[in-house]
Amino acid sequence: MSANSLLLWMSARRQGSWAQFRAAVEELHLVADAEIDGEGDDAPDQFALPLYQTLRFNLQRVGHAEFFAGADEGSEWRVTPPALAVSRHARGWLGVVAGARSLSFMDRLCAAVTTHGAELRVLALAAYPDQVLITADTRDTLAAIAGEAGVLLQDDAPAALLASLPPVDDPGVRYPTELPFGSDWRIDRFSPDDLVWRSATLDDARTASAGLFRFSLRHQRHVLFCCKGAAARIPGQVGKYLVLRQRRRRRQVLRYDAQTRTLTMPASCRPPFLVERALILCSGSPPSYDGGGLRGGSLQYAEIPQDIAAISAALLRQELR
């Protein structure tokens, strides 16, 4: 069965525990037919992820659900309300259907699209629910479709989402903590030179002037930003861009092609979830992966307007090249 079945189940339940989510993935007999890249905010990016983790990350990336508390046994998830995320497209207006869905909702949506002469496309993606895209000549057409289908309308969704986010160096995204103690932890440090995790020691974390460290022990994993003896919890992808900014000579990893409207970055420097969600809403499609060129491959986001690329770069404290 596909991830569509999982989203229908989540839409019916509305919210639940992490244990229930994992059980649903197993009971629905979802198959691991996707290329699992191991790239998540708190995922070790040199290892493949279990399918339930990949589905969790993908559901968050496209805005269908939110997960809380770091995916421990007591953590929770909540499906987001159904919405039509609208943005100006190179050839008109685009509406991306996100959030909860049911069979009756999809019937209403298809009927409204037909009534107003818009175009509905369904993209089948591995390890994602189908992406439902609506294109129209005017914004008012999409608003009318949303009204008849009973779905929220989110105007200029990519820019509105980015405008609500703090930059990666905002102290508010870091939470002071203590370094883990004990000799059993595996410790890695993110290298801003070659963009990979390398083996490190506890002394490295204690003495780092500005470094991103990952502590792993069985099912536990902590990503910490360490600076002059102090440690703070931080989302992994946020931490990577913070370290790139803190480097004496800032490492610039974003590339933007205005002619093709494509934003490219190393796969190991995938943007934080909400920044990536805004980028995906520009086209409705997750990034494509190119295994050549940049070391470790690159991610390419399509149909990105120049202003959205610029705002994203500013939040990541990068300069577009």
Q: What is the pLDDT of residue 181?
A: 86
pLDDT, position 263: 98
Q: What is the pLDDT of residue 197?
A: 96
- 8, 65 in Cβ contact below 8 A? no
Residue 24, SS3 per DSSP: helix
Q: Which residue has the tokens 């480097």?
A: 247
pLDDT 10s digits, 54-112: 999 999 999 999 998 654 445 699 999 999 999 998 789 999 999 999 999 999 999 99
**The tokens 């050549």 sit on which residue?**
292
Please write the tens of the pLDDT for every residue from 295-318.
678 999 999 999 999 999 999 999
Which of 250 and 231 is assigned the larger pLDDT?
231
What is the residue-wise DSSP string for 148-198?
HHT-EEETTHHHHHHHTPPPTT-GGG-EEEPPP-SS--EEEEEETTTTEEE
Please compute the mean of the pLDDT values over residues 242-256 and round it to a whole number: 87
Name every residue whose Cβ is closer than 8 Å to that of residue 22 and which is 6 or more positions away in sequence. 52
Quick: pLDDT tens for 116-169.
999 999 999 989 999 999 999 999 999 999 999 999 999 999 999 999 999 999
75, 69 Cβ separation under 8 angstroms: yes
Q: How far apart are CA 134 and CA 84, in angstroms?
A: 9
pLDDT higher than 70, residue 36: no
pLDDT in tens, 8-20: 999 999 999 989 9
Burial of residue 309 (number of CB atoms within 10 Å: 0-12, 13-18, 19+): buried
- Backbone phi and psi for residue 120, each to the nearest 5 degrees, phi listed first: -110, 130
**Residue pLDDT, tens place only, 182-209:** 889 999 999 999 999 999 999 999 999 9
User: What's the confidence (pLDDT) of residue 242?
Assistant: 96
Q: Tokens in use for 197?
A: 């995790």
What's the CA dihedral at 283, 285, 286, 287 to 10 degrees?
A: -60
